[in-house]
Structure 1
Amino acid sequence: MNEHILIERDGAIATVVLNRPEKLNALTKPMWQRLGQAMRELSADEAVRCVVLRGAGGKSFAPGNDISEFQTERSNFEQGKAYGKVLHGALSAIADCRHPTVALIQGICVGGGLEIAALCDLRICGESSRFGVPINQLGLVMAHAEMGALIKLAGRAVAMEILLEGRVFDAREALDKRLVNRVVADEQVAAEAYATARRIAQGAPLVARWHKQFAREIESGAPLTEAQLDEGFRCYDTEDFRIGYQAFLKKTKPAFEGR
C-alpha cells in the first residue's frame, strides 16, 4: 500500500500524498496504517522542518474512508475496534508530529479527510473546497479520539452542528467555523501552501518544535511543572538563538542549523 501513501522531499519540506485519485483519495485500512508509519518516520527525521499533507489529483483532499471496505473490515464491533486502532494510530501520529504540519486542501475534505486536516497545525484550502462529516447517514459515529480534535479546533457547538446535521458546506463557511486558516483561489492553493511551508522551514526548527510542545502542554490543562516552565528559556542556550540575534543585528538572513 506504499504506492497509495507517497512521501516526497524538497529540502527540509516533506510532503505526504494520499495517492488514490481514482477514488478521490478515499482511505483504506492499509492506507491508514501506512499514513501513521510515514508520519512517525518524518517526525523522527531531524532534517525535516515542515510536513505538507495533500491529496493526489487536485480534485479531493480525501472524502474519508472507503465505504466498500465496511462489509469486510468494519461489519461488527470487533472489526470496528480493530479498524479504529489503526485509524486512531494514524491520527495520533499526525497530532504528535514534532514538526509543523500544513494541510493543502483541494476539493473534497469530508469525514476522515477532515479529521486528518483538523490535526494539522495549519489548513489552506481553495474556494471550491467542501467540508463536512455526513456519517449520520451511515449510522456511523465519530469516536472519542477523532471527535476531540474537531471540538478543540472549532468548539463544541460547531462540532455538534457538523455531526448532528451531517451537512456538507463550502470553504467560506469552513473559514467562518475556524476549520481552515486561509481560503485562496483554487489555482493558488498549492502555491500558497508551499509558500507557507517555506516560511515555516526558514524559521528556527527548534523553536517550531518547542512551540508545538508548549501548545500541547497548555491544552492538556495539567498544572505546568517547574521543569516545563524552565523549558521556555532553554532557547537561550541554542546555537540557533546566537545565529538569529546576530543575523538581526547584522541585517542579514539567518541560516538556522537546528541546534
Structure 2
Amino acid sequence: PMAPREAALVMRAAGELTAREMLLSAGVLDAPTMQQRGFLNRVLADSDVAAEALATARRVAALAPHAARQNKQCFRALAQVLPGQTAIDLIATGSAYGYADSAEHREGVAAFIEKRVPQF
C-alpha cells in the first residue's frame, strides 16, 4: 500500500479515478494517457528532454523569486480549502498582497511599463 500522504498527493495530482486505477489495479499508464488526463503538461521525445529541462530551468530562474514563493504558498493554501470555505477567504487571511511594496515588485512593474526584461 502507498502511505496515506503520498496517496493523497497522487490523488490530488492525477485525479481520483486515475489514482484508483494506478493503486488498486497496478495500472501503468503511458505518457500520452497521463497528459490527456491532465497529469503531464507536455510529452517530449527522449532526445528533447535535456534541452527542454534546461530551457525551463532558465526560464524559471529568470523570474521573481519572492513572487514564485508566494505563488507556491497560494497553491498550497488553495489545496486546503475546506467545504463551505471559499478560496478568497483563505487567501485574504494571509499576506497575499504583502509583496506590493517590495523592490522585486517595483522592478517587475517598471520592467513591464518600460517593456524590458526585469532584473531580479
With normalisation by structure 2, the TM-score equals 0.85
Equivalent in 69, 79, 91 of residue 219 of structure 1:
79
Residue 173 of structure 1 deviates from its aligned partner by 1.2
Residue 151 of structure 1 deviates from its aligned partner by 0.5
Which residue number corresponds to residue 103 of structure 2? 239
Q: Which has the higher strand share?
A: 1
Q: Deviations over 1:142-175 (max 9, x none)?
A: 1201101110001111100111221323211121
Which residue number corresponds to residue 148 of structure 1? 8
2:71 equivalent to 1:207: no
Count of equivalent residues: 114
Which residue number corresponds to residue 184 of structure 1? 44
Aligned pairs for 1:60-139 (under 5 A) are none
Distance in 1 of aligned mates of 2:43 and 2:93: 39
Distance in 2 of aligned mates of 1:157 and 1:198: 35
Asked if the contact 2:67/2:99 (under 8 Å) is kept, the reply is yes
Q: Secondary structure at the match of 2:2?
A: coil
Residue 203 of structure 1 deviates from its aligned partner by 1.0
Q: How high is the sequence identity, in percent, across the aligned residues?
A: 39
With normalisation by structure 1, the TM-score equals 0.42
- 1:215 counterpart letter in structure 2: F
Runs of 4+ in 1 over 3 A off after TM superposition: none
- 2:3 counterpart letter in structure 1: A
- 1:252 counterpart letter in structure 2: R
Asked if the contact 2:74/2:91 (under 8 Å) is kept, the reply is no
Residue 196 of structure 1 deviates from its aligned partner by 1.2
Q: Secondary structure at the match of 1:235?
A: helix
Q: Residue 242 and residue 225 in structure 1: after superposition, are their counterparts in 2 closer, same or farther (change >3 A)?
A: closer
Residue 188 of structure 1 deviates from its aligned partner by 0.5
Which residue number corresponds to residue 116 of structure 1? none
Equivalent in 18, 23, 28 of residue 168 of structure 1:
28
2:112 equivalent to 1:248: yes
- 1:196 counterpart letter in structure 2: T
Unaligned runs of 5+ in 2: none
Residue 226 of structure 1 deviates from its aligned partner by 4.9
Aligned pairs for 1:49-60 (under 5 A) are none
- 2:117 counterpart letter in structure 1: K
Residue 253 of structure 1 deviates from its aligned partner by 1.2
